[in-house]
């Protein structure tokens, strides 16, 4: 079968790639951390600091859910000291970790409490993405308080992998967690008194943010950003938007805004970008991207 052939080619390339091209601890003199996509890469860079080499598996501007690993990247996973990922977001990464780094994989979803996934049904069944089958919502990085917990956990895992720099990892983890806790407090204060508490989003990515700050999320699409919302789901989103007097329909940078724009026109609302931060925000990092999200939310929700 083509899939088996491709997999065999990828696996046979491991030794050659590791010897000729992949970044390894031996090449750089530092442990290598493979990070699945942007928020985890940012966190690994903050906690690992100068003591590690961080390799991002998803290039900026690429939708993480659609990632296919190259043979070189699979080789990198096999050689990495630690692979930081969220199981279910990227099936290709899940497979590479299971096959080549089972003892060196750090699934962020095991380090924090997760929320139950809310599936819309039709579009997930149609597309059949693995993420849609998860019992939990994987978008945990959109809650700064969970990211703070994750920073501490990552510091511990890096200290285990590289005891010589253990104290430095834990200190940077402490500092990063403190910055994320401050961000969490800013969100809590900024969203405490809002005229509206309903957010209508392009896909159901903001469950953790909504749960943390007592907002109600209405996703046009489901957990899977590639899923096509059914007419019934669109009608329900429009009904709720009108009932709750929603003034803004949120789009995303990596997902077509077309459906959201149609919905906004139907209910008499405008559109604005609420970034799920699956890719680096232009000219910024995780904290600046989340701060921009807070500004958009405050404007859309009429917060005092």
- Give the integer Cα–Cα distance in Å for 183 and 290: 8
Looking at the structure, tell me whether residues 169 and 191 fall in a common domain. no
Residue 162 — very low, low, confident or very high, per pLDDT cuts 50/70/90?
A: very high
Residue 8 — very low, low, confident or very high, per pLDDT cuts 50/70/90?
A: very low
- What is the pLDDT, as a whole number, of residue 123? 41
For residue range 48-106, what is the model confidence (pLDDT) as tens digits? 999 999 999 999 988 898 899 999 999 999 999 999 999 999 999 999 999 999 999 99
CA distances for 161 relative to 199, 226, 241, angstroms: 41, 36, 49
Which CATH number do you get for residue 66? 3.40.50.1980
Cβ atoms within 10 Å of 56's Cβ, excluding its own: 18
User: Long-range contacts made by residues 216-221, C-beta under 8 angstroms, separation at least 24?
Assistant: 216/244, 219/118, 219/120, 220/249, 220/259, 220/260, 220/263, 221/120, 221/123, 221/255, 221/259
User: What range does the domain containing 47 cover?
Assistant: 2-185
- Give the integer Cα–Cα distance in Å for 293 and 39: 15
Q: Does 303 map to a domain?
A: no
Looking at the structure, tell me whether residues 150 and 14 fall in a common domain. yes
Decide if pLDDT at 152 tops 80.
Answer: yes
- Give the integer Cα–Cα distance in Å for 209 and 2: 40
- Give the integer Cα–Cα distance in Å for 297 and 273: 10
Q: Does 213 map to a domain?
A: yes
Mean pLDDT of the chain: 87
Report how many domains make up the chain: 2
Looking at the structure, tell me whether residues 91 and 19 fall in a common domain. yes
Determine the Cα angle at 41 with ends 142 and 199, to 5°.
Answer: 15
Judged on CB neighbours under 10 Å (0-12, 13-18, 19+), 186 is middle
Looking at the structure, tell me whether residues 81 and 38 fall in a common domain. yes
Looking at the structure, tell me whether residues 261 and 194 fall in a common domain. yes
Written as one string, the DSSP assignment of 206-251 is -HHHHHHTT-EEEEEE-SSTTPPPPHHHHHHHHHHHHHTT--EEEE
Decide if pLDDT at 264 tops 50.
Answer: yes
Decide if pLDDT at 4 tops 60.
Answer: no
Looking at the structure, tell me whether residues 97 and 204 fall in a common domain. no
Final residue of a structural domain among 125, 154, 185: 185
Q: Does 245 map to a domain?
A: yes
Looking at the structure, tell me whether residues 171 and 34 fall in a common domain. yes
Determine the Cα angle at 149 with ends 140 and 108, to 5°.
Answer: 45
For residue range 19-57, what is the model confidence (pLDDT) as tens digits? 333 444 545 689 999 999 999 999 999 999 999 999 999
Residue 225 — very low, low, confident or very high, per pLDDT cuts 50/70/90?
A: low
- Give the integer Cα–Cα distance in Å for 184 and 147: 10
Q: In sequence order, what are the residues at sequence separation of 6 or more whose Cβ sits closer than 8 angstroms to the Cβ of residue 102?
A: none
Q: Which of 97-111, 131-145, 148-162 has the lowest mean pLDDT?
A: 131-145
Q: Does 12 map to a domain?
A: yes
Q: Does 261 map to a domain?
A: yes
- Give the integer Cα–Cα distance in Å for 201 and 222: 10
Characterize the bridge pairing of strands 198-203 and 216-221. parallel
């Amino acid at each position: 079968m083509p899939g088996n052939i491709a997999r065999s080619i990828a696996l046979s390339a491991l030794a050659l790639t590791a010897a000729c091209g992949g970044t390894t601890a031996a090449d750089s003199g530092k442990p290598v951390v493979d990070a699945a996509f942007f928020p985890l890469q940012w966190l690994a860079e903050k906690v690992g600091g100068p003591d590690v080499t961080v390799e991002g598996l998803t290039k900026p501007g690429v939708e993480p859910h659609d990632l296919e690993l190259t043979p070189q990247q699979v080789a990198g996973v096999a050689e990495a000291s630690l692979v930081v990922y969220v199981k279910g977001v990227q099936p290709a990464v899940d497979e590479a970790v299971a096959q080549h780094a089972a003892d060196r994989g750090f699934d962020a979803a095991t380090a924090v409490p997760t929320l139950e996934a809310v599936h819309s049904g039709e579009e997930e069944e149609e597309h059949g993405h693995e993420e849609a089958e998860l019992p939990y919502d994987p978008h945990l990085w959109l809650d700064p308080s969970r990211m703070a917990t994750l920073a501490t956990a990552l510091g511990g895992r890096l200290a285990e992998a590289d005891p010589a720099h253990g104290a430095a990892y834990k200190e940077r983890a402490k500092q990063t967690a403190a910055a994320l806790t401050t961000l969490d407090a800013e969100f809590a204060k900024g969203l405490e008194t809002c005229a509206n508490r309903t957010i209508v989003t392009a896909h159901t990515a903001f469950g953790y943010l909504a749960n943390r700050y007592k907002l109600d999320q209405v996703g046009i699409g489901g957990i899977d950003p590639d899923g096509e919302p059914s007419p019934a789901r669109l009608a329900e989103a429009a009904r709720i938007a009108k009932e709750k007097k929603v003034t803004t329909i949120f789009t995303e940078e990596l997902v077509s805004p077309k459906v959201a724009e149609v919905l906004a026109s139907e209910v008499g609302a405008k559109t604005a970008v609420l970034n799920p931060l699956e890719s680096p925000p232009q000219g910024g990092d995780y904290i600046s991207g989340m701060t921009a999200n807070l500004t958009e939310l405050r404007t859309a929700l009429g917060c005092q």
